Amino acid sequence: MSNAIYNLSRPENDAIRSYLPGSPERAQLQEELKKQVAQVVKIPLIINGQEVWTEKTISVTMPHDHGHVIAQCCMAGEKELRMAIDSALAAKDAWEATPWEHRAGLFLKVAQMLSGPYRKVLTASTMLGQSKTAYQAEIDIAELADFLRFGVWSAQEIFKDQPASASGMWNRQDYRPLDGFICAISPFNFTSIGGNLPTAPVIVGNVALWKPSSTAVLSNYYYMKLLQQCGLPAGVINFVPCSGRDMSQYVVSHPKMAGFHFTGSTGVFQSVWRQVGENIASYTNYPRLVGETGGKDFLFAHSSADLEPLAAAIVRGAFEYQGQKCSACSRAYIPASLWPALEPRLKELTAQLKVGDVQEFDTFMGAVIDKSSFQTCKGFLDRAAASPLCQFVTGGTCDDSKGWFVQPTIIRCMTPDYESMVEEIFGPIISIYVYDDDKLEETLEICNSSPYALSGCIFAQDRQAIVRMERALRNASGNFYINDKCTGAVVGQQPFGGARASGTNDKAGSSLNMIRWLSAHVVKEEFCPSTDVTYPYMVQP
């Protein structure tokens, strides 16, 4: 209806700032950090464009200094969630009818603000609230800008795809938003994912409710404010921090929920899928379920691998952002012939990493996100310390006296099915299994037997070995790297997502994702309609 094509060119990825000593961006960020750390931000719900204040609130603290409160956030209950659904549905017609170029223009403007004046606000709040270093927060916010620009461009490319028309008629495909609202539930670990989950469907004309993670709510709130500042109409996205249970009970089961956009753990997505199944007869449409979920991302080395890049990939892949990237490397398979040289190198590299306050720019790792994550990591460390099947190569300790700090840990496991080799931990702990060089095929099979299939990488110089490994691991991940670490996917370059228990593999930020929020309506117009009823073959000879 309003999806005119404007030939917007393919976007460039947002430029990454380096925050070198003496640079203007470093000075601006430090000033912003100083300001934000001294505040306690009061966060309301935002429903129908209005701030809504509730009695029930939660305190938001910094993971690396858990006694320090940086925000108080209102929590929605049944009443507010119902208001948010009503507001989204009321906003739907006008938003859907807003010409495509104006929806696109709005989100390109938001992206530009993220690349410019608003960058420091989002970067600082992501650092403080989610314990990211300046660089990790920087790539997170750059990714959010990328999601917006590539989202707009992907939508345009989808709209261009039109059916053929025979002479005398015109067939066209109208890409409608879904008939209902979108429920977006986001995780703590990327501000970019938080922002993208409600925004991607909204770019193509949908309306949404957005439940951010309570441990990422500060940065997510600033993004919501930015959307409003850039002119997002009231009710198009309703910001409703609340408990997962309330969201499931009052929103997921609503007959007008047309799409569910989720990133988080496998268990939560499966519980929502189950709930949707149980309610299936009550929905107006079959809801589109898109979920990027858990992982147990791997590194697999061949005996021909180069040692230095292999060691660096293990350390960066496992420990950047405390192992809390969805793509973080958390198991590795190393041939016995490489281990004697690799082990001391891993110890050396890990010893260089400073763990601490992310406001100090020489920090490599902050704290894990919260007490529950700390306890999960501690449980794995305590059990590994007591197990005859494990030995610590490095790390193995943690300390929660000031922040939720877990030291970067490498565990050598004597069996490939030891719990830390197979279960998701989501912390700075990597497990390594050293295999006999002549057991390559068997070990590839073990690697491939994981229930997860998100990200993975191989290291080898021998080209035939690369071919064999790629073939054996084809279904073991959605994103696969050859001689590179398994983290760091860039929007538009390595569209990200996994299969098996890791998700529906709808590749965030790409047209594969955007198309899930559209429902095609095919229109045929006949220019000179036929008046015949009988067909020529019916004429008697």
In the numeric block, the tokens 């004309």 are attached to 205
Site string for ligand NAD, 395-424 (x = CB under 6 A): -----------------------------x
Phi, psi values for residue 202, rounded to 5°: -70, -30
Binding ligand NAD by CB under 6 A: which of 201, 264, 323, 428? 264
Binding ligand NAD by CB under 6 A: which of 177, 180, 187, 427? 187
Which residue stretches of 337-462 are H helix? Answer: 339-351, 371-386, 419-422, 440-448
* By CB under 6 A, residue 503 contacts ligand NAD: yes
- Between 311 and 326, name the residue whose CB sits nearer to ligand NAD: 326
E-assigned strands of 221-294?
237-239, 257-263, 288-292
Whole-number Å distance between alpha carbons of 432 and 428: 13
Three-state DSSP class for 253?
coil
* By CB under 6 A, residue 326 contacts ligand NAD: yes
* By CB under 6 A, residue 271 contacts ligand NAD: yes
* By CB under 6 A, residue 219 contacts ligand NAD: no
| Size of the residue set binding ligand NAD (CB under 6 A) | 30
Question: What residues does 237 pair with on adjacent strands?
Answer: 208
Q: How far apart are the first and last CA of the chain?
A: 48
Q: How far is the CB of 487 from ligand NAD (least distance, A)?
A: 11
Contact 238, 209 (CB under 8 A): yes
Binding ligand NAD by CB under 6 A: which of 189, 192, 199, 511? 189
74, 242, 326, 457: the catalytic one is 326
Task: List all residues 6 or more positions away from 471 whose beta carbon is below 8 Å from its beta carbon.
Answer: none
* By CB under 6 A, residue 130 contacts ligand NAD: no
* By CB under 6 A, residue 200 contacts ligand NAD: no
Q: How far is the CB of 271 from ligand NAD (least distance, A)?
A: 5
Q: Name the burial class of residue 137, with classes exposed (0-12), middle (13-18) and buried (19+) by CB atoms within 10 angstroms of its CB.
A: buried
Q: Of the listed pieces 16-24, 154-162, 292-300, 441-449, which binds ligand NAD according to CB under 6 A? A: 292-300
32, 80, 143, 292: the catalytic one is 292
Whole-number Å distance between alpha carbons of 428 and 328: 9
- For 472, the enclosing helix (H) or strand (E) is helix 463-472
Q: Of the listed pieces 21-29, 174-182, 257-265, 437-445, which binds ligand NAD according to CB under 6 A? A: 257-265
The verdict on whether 292 is a catalytic residue reads yes
CA dihedral 484, 491, 144, 234 (to 10 degrees): -150
Binding ligand NAD by CB under 6 A: which of 115, 154, 248, 322? 248
- Between 11 and 241, name the residue whose CB sits nearer to ligand NAD: 241
* By CB under 6 A, residue 77 contacts ligand NAD: no
* By CB under 6 A, residue 471 contacts ligand NAD: no
Residue 428 structure tokens: 């700075």
* By CB under 6 A, residue 249 contacts ligand NAD: no
Q: Of the listed pieces 38-46, 200-208, 258-266, 313-321, which binds ligand NAD according to CB under 6 A? A: 258-266
Binding ligand NAD by CB under 6 A: which of 245, 532, 537, 539? 245
Binding ligand NAD by CB under 6 A: which of 293, 450, 477, 487? 293
Contact 487, 508 (CB under 8 A): no
The verdict on whether 441 is a catalytic residue reads no
- Between 108 and 208, name the residue whose CB sits nearer to ligand NAD: 208
Question: Positive or negative, the Cα torsion across 204, 207, 213, 218?
Answer: positive
* By CB under 6 A, residue 488 contacts ligand NAD: no
Q: Of the listed pieces 126-134, 262-270, 377-385, 429-437, which binds ligand NAD according to CB under 6 A? A: 262-270
- Between 220 and 443, name the residue whose CB sits nearer to ligand NAD: 220
Q: What distances in angstroms separate CA 109 from CA 3, 88, 115, 214, one per listed residue?
A: 19, 22, 10, 27
Whole-number Å distance between alpha carbons of 62 and 366: 10
* By CB under 6 A, residue 456 contacts ligand NAD: no
Which residue number is nearest to ligand NAD in terms of Cβ?
244
Contact 70, 59 (CB under 8 A): no
Q: What distances in angstroms separate CA 326 from CA 296, 311, 335, one per listed residue?
A: 9, 20, 26
Whole-number Å distance between alpha carbons of 516 and 326: 22
Q: Of the listed pieces 87-95, 97-105, 230-238, 264-272, which binds ligand NAD according to CB under 6 A? A: 264-272
- For 82, the enclosing helix (H) or strand (E) is helix 78-97
Q: How far is the CB of 503 from ligand NAD (least distance, A)?
A: 5
Estimate the crossing angle of helix 339-351 against helix 307-319, to 10 degrees: 50
Residue type, 377: C
Give Cα 390 to chain centroid, integer Å: 32
Q: How far is the CB of 215 from ligand NAD (least distance, A)?
A: 7
* By CB under 6 A, residue 226 contacts ligand NAD: no
Three-state DSSP class for 323?
helix
* By CB under 6 A, residue 295 contacts ligand NAD: yes
* By CB under 6 A, residue 186 contacts ligand NAD: yes
- Between 184 and 204, name the residue whose CB sits nearer to ligand NAD: 184
Q: What residues are annotated to the active site? A: 292, 326
Question: Which residues form the interface with ligand NAD (CB under 6 A)?
Answer: 185-189, 193, 211, 213, 244-245, 247-248, 263-265, 268, 271-272, 292-295, 326, 424, 426, 454, 496, 498, 502-503
